[in-house]
Structure formats: C-alpha cells, structure tokens
Amino acid sequence: MPQRKAKPGPAAARRVKAPRSPPNLHVLLAESQERERVRLGAELHDGVLQSLVRIKLDIEQLVVEVESRAPRDVASQLSELVSEVRDCIKEIRAILSDLVPPHLEGTDIVEALHRCIDAFRDRYRMQVRRRLEPLRVSLTAEQKLVLFRILQEALNNVQKHAHATRVEIELRNSARAVRLRVIDDGRGFHKLEPEPGHCGLQNMRHRAATLGGSTIIRSAPGQGTIVVAKIPLRCGDAGNDVDAA
C-alpha cells in the first residue's frame, strides 16, 4: 500500500524563509565609493606624495650646493622649481584630505562642517556665508558621513563648475530631519542641459538616498545653483518639520 506523504508541520513551515530583499543599490554605491577613496588616498600618499617630497628635498639641497658656484639665474630657477613642487605637495595633501573619510564618530558634526567650510574658503579665497544650527539630536556615524560628503561634493561643484564668487551654507534641523542647503551665485545651468559636474550631483543624490533622504538641485542660467539635501532621522520622515527649499 503506497505511503502518503506527511504534511509539513509547524517546524518545517518555520524553516521556509521569505526571499531576501535585494541590497540597497544606493548603499552599495556609497560603500564602494568610500573604499575607492581610501584606496586612492593610500596610493597618492605612499606613491606620488612621497616622491614629490623627496624631489623637493633633493632640489633644496642642490640649491644650497650651487648657490656659491653657479650663475645666479640657475639658483633662481631652482628656487622657483622648489616653489612649484611645494605648491604641488600642498595641492595633493588637500586632495588627500578630501579623499580619506574623516573620523566623525564621537565628534561634533557641526564643528566638522565648519572645518570643511573653512578649508574651502582658505583654499579658494571665496566669500562664504554660513548659518549652521546646533543639532537637536545625536546623529549616527553614517548620517554624519553622508552630511559631510554631500557638503564636500556641493562645494567641489561650486569651485569647479559654478564660476561663483560667493557661496552660502545653511544647516537646519528638527527632531525628525536635517536639511543642508548650499547656494552659489555662479553661472547656473538650464534644466534641459546636462548638469555641470553631473557625477558629483549624482553622488549627492545617491548618498542622501542611502538614508532614505533626497537631494534637490535647482538652477537657471545666470541665477546660480541651489542644492538642498534632506536626511530623515527616522524612517519615512524625510523633509518633515524642516522648511522646504
């Protein structure tokens, strides 16, 4: 007599798991970008930067040796070369500072944003106005990093593409959301044209999306550009209790 198959009991039913939801592509992209930044930063620091430092030291020693024996114009040319290499080293160190993820855990993110703005102002001699509210709640390390990177990307776009003379940065927050707004007085662009620095703008959108937030870009020819990033502090609260752009 053929045996009947037993029906799966409760224990067997519990072993049947629902299919996993696909990974968040925005999160994967952001994590991949951070890893690539770390890799590039290490290669620049251990390779190009160290080579330039050695070249600078060798040239400085050569200047000392030839000053008493060579024509004055030779020593002058070598001194100019030292100055150019020094500027190159300074630029690479600034790039490294942008590449390597800052240590934000346990630090005041508002102070970190102030330092980022100060570095931008001093490096590019641009007029900067800021209004950064103290945060009412503590942010996670991930939220801090996203805010910091979005500000970096926004300022980088201002410097590279906007042809601006002035930039305004505003940070506002509530118990449920944080809003970062960056406004420049640059040339702007038409909404139907490709966005200048589109990679940086896409990065800002992706980073905000990793936390369920959003980045809005508003621009018009001759009217500058406004970047508004909103980061929810609780799931589903993006933009709530914070004024619109």
- Asked whether residue 163 falls in the same domain as residue 142, the answer is yes
**Shortest CA distance to 238 belongs to which of 172, 230, 207, 150?**
230
Q: Quote the pLDDT of residue 12.
A: 44
> Of 107, 194, 114, whose CA–CA distance to 143 is shortest?
107
- Output the pLDDT for position 104: 72
* Beta strand residue intervals within 58-165, DSSP E: 127-132
Identify whether the C-beta of residue 195 lies closer than 8 Å to the C-beta of residue 189. Answer: yes
- Amino acid code (one letter) for 142: E
Expressed as residue numbers, the domain containing 154 is: 109-232
Q: Which helix (H) or strand (E) holds 99?
A: helix 72-99
Residues 142 and 90 in one domain: no
DSSP secondary structure letter of residue 190: -
Total domains in the chain come to: 2
Spatial CB neighbours of 35, under 8 Å, sequence gap ≥ 6: none
Per-residue pLDDT of the chain (245 residues; tens, 9 = 90+): 555 555 555 444 444 444 444 455 555 555 666 666 666 666 666 666 777 787 778 777 777 767 666 666 677 777 777 787 888 777 777 777 666 656 676 778 999 999 999 989 998 899 999 999 999 888 998 899 899 989 999 998 998 889 999 999 999 999 899 999 999 999 998 865 666 656 778 888 888 998 999 999 999 999 999 999 999 987 555 544 455 45
Residue 196 lies in a domain: yes
According to the model, what pLDDT value does residue 37 have? Answer: 61
> Could you tell me if residue 169 is inside a domain?
yes
* Same-domain status, 115 and 213: yes
Could you give the strand order of the β-sheet that contains 177-184, starting from the edge strand earlier in sequence?
A: 127-132, 166-173, 177-184, 225-232, 214-219
Residues 150 and 84 in one domain: no
Note whether residue 218 is domain-resident.
yes
What does the block give as tokens for 231?
Answer: 């980061």
Tell me whether residue 10 is in a domain.
no
Based on the fold, state whether residues 133 and 90 are members of the same structural domain. no
State residue 223's pLDDT score: 93
| Residues 138, 52 share a domain | no
SS3 content of the chain, % helix, strand, coil (to 5): 50, 15, 35
Please check whether residues 176 and 95 belong to one and the same domain: no
The Cα 66–Cα 167 span in angstroms is 47
pLDDT at residue 30, as a whole number: 59
Last residue of a domain, one of 99, 132, 147: 99
Rounded Cα–Cα distance for residues 84 and 69 (Å) = 23
* Sign, CA torsion 99/105/110/114: negative
Question: How far does CA 154 lie from the centroid of its chain?
Answer: 8
One domain for residues 114 and 82: no
Residues 95 and 155 in one domain: no
Helix axes 25-43, 198-210, angle to 10 degrees: 120
Q: Is residue 239 part of a domain?
A: no
